Amino acid sequence: MPIATINGIPLNYQVKGSGDLVVLIMGTGSPGRVWDLHQVPALVKEGYRVATFDNRGIAPSGESLAGITIDDMVKDTAGLIELLGGPAHIVGTSMGSRVAQELALARPDLVRKAIFLAGHARMDRFQITLTEGERQLYDSGVELPAKYKAALTAVMNLSPASLADENTARDWLDVFEFSGGRVSPGVRAQLGMDREFDRRAAYRAVRVPCLSVGFADDRMIPSYLTREVADAIPNARYEEVPDAGHYGYLERPEAVNKLLVDFLAD
């Protein structure tokens, strides 16, 4: 993957395919290559040029250990779109959706259409408390046993429908156990971002076409918060994927990809 200096940091990115540009924005703690499992192949097949990247905080992009703000991440994404010859369609998930939402508001000249997976205009008390707990766990130096951490990750990010199937549950738990290393300092910087915000009133000024996609069994960003984004943005659409948790784009890729492709083609 090439690395470009954008908004004052090295930004690690890759581009596949040809056609109209789609930029995919990942959530907290995950590299951009996660999109390669399902969304990138589906979009390239439909004739799009698809860019993924590692957000600041995820090496080899700049880890920004002194702190990260949502404005930093919006400017990073805007700079990448400019580098690649935008405007672009943008798709975010979780924290990446928040970036996409703010980019659609601040730089509509760079955004053709925007899709928010597990988007949110605010966080409720549970998400705020959970994030503070994650910060405290990292700062304490305590390392959870691998199997317990895998089980906790599964419960928080997958649908009960996935965990009810023995083979599916085993496969996911194996993935989480063997990929769940210690949180990096850059990810800790992402966790330090402000969670006390409410952007519902601000999003009334968004004018680009938007689709907000909730996951019915999402514990991290409950679907009612994702629906609020669609309610706030004039003429935005809301869709909900059943039997899907926070990782719905990985659990139910066919359903999610159809929503992406159909909305972008409208």
The pLDDT assigned to 183 comes to 83
The secondary element (H helix, E strand) that includes residue 27 is none
What is the three-class DSSP state of 5? strand
**pLDDT at residue 23 is higher than 90:** yes
The pLDDT assigned to 204 comes to 98
Q: Among 64, 94, 212, 223, which one carries the catalytic annotation?
A: 94
DSSP string, 205-249: G--S-EEEEEETT-SSS-HHHHHHHHHHSTT-EEEEETT--TTHH
Spatial separation of the C-alpha atoms in residues 140 and 145, rounded to whole Å: 15
* pLDDT tens, residue by residue, 219-234: 999 999 999 999 999 9
The pLDDT assigned to 182 comes to 79
**pLDDT at residue 195 is higher than 90:** no
Q: In the structure, what pLDDT confidence band is assigned to residue 19 with cuts at 50, 70 and 90?
A: very high
| 52 close to 24: Cβ distance less than 8 angstroms | yes
pTM above 0.85, yes or no: yes
Spatial separation of the C-alpha atoms in residues 230 and 199, rounded to whole Å: 12
Domain with CATH 3.40.50.1820 in the chain: 3-124+196-265
Residue 71 annotated among the catalytic residues of the structure: no
Percent over 70 (pLDDT), the chain:
100
Helix axes 146-157, 166-179, angle to 10 degrees: 120
**pLDDT at residue 180 is higher than 80:** no
Spatial separation of the C-alpha atoms in residues 242 and 50, rounded to whole Å: 26
Residues in contact with 71: Cβ distance below 8 Å, sequence separation at least 6, in sequence order: 102
Q: In the structure, what pLDDT confidence band is assigned to residue 198 with cuts at 50, 70 and 90?
A: very high
* pLDDT tens, residue by residue, 242-251: 999 999 999 9
Residue 76 annotated among the catalytic residues of the structure: no
Residue 246 annotated among the catalytic residues of the structure: yes
Q: In the structure, what pLDDT confidence band is assigned to residue 178 with cuts at 50, 70 and 90?
A: confident
| 131 close to 195: Cβ distance less than 8 angstroms | yes
| Token pair 């907290």: residue | 28
Q: In the structure, what pLDDT confidence band is assigned to residue 5 with cuts at 50, 70 and 90?
A: very high
The pLDDT assigned to 241 comes to 98
The pLDDT assigned to 101 comes to 98
Q: Among 54, 72, 76, 218, which one carries the catalytic annotation?
A: 218
Closest alpha carbon to 248 in 162, 167, 187: 162
* pLDDT tens, residue by residue, 85-136: 989 999 999 999 999 999 999 999 999 999 999 999 999 999 999 999 999 9
Fill in the DSSP letter of residue 88.
E
Classify domain 3-124+196-265 by CATH number: 3.40.50.1820
**pLDDT at residue 1 is higher than 80:** no
